[in-house]
Amino acid sequence: MTVYVDEITDHTRAARLKGLRYTRWSHLTADTRDELHAFAARLGLKRSWFQNATNYRWHYDVVPSKRALAIRLGAVEIDRYRLAELMAERRFSEALR
């Protein structure tokens, strides 16, 4: 099982529209939800920050400092294209159930 973190992306426009404090973040995901939640807890992320719980795009957003910690704890760095592939694989897998 693997935990993944993608590149830091600037989301200034979306952050301002939503009134968010941070404008740059990455996405943290994993092969399983259980593995993701366990890893997120190690990072100090709140379970309430879990996103897209009802579909295949489930993840946590992580700011640059949490991304760096995730990598130190063993998360695999991926680019946004690999993240999209993982989500597509997950979507296909869930559709087969």
Q: Is 51 left (phi over 0), alpha (psi -120 to 50) or beta?
A: beta
Q: What pLDDT score does 36 carry?
A: 97
Token output for 84 = 């999209």
Task: For 32-73, write each residue's pLDDT tens digit.
Answer: 999 999 999 999 999 999 998 888 899 999 999 999 999 999
Domain locations in the chain? Answer: 3-95
Q: What pLDDT score does 97 carry?
A: 66
Could you give the CA distance from residue 29 to residue 23 in angstroms, rounded to a whole number? 19
CB-based burial, 45-57: b 16+ in 10 Å, e otherwise: beeeebeeeeeeb
Task: For 18-27, write each residue's pLDDT tens digit.
Answer: 888 888 899 9
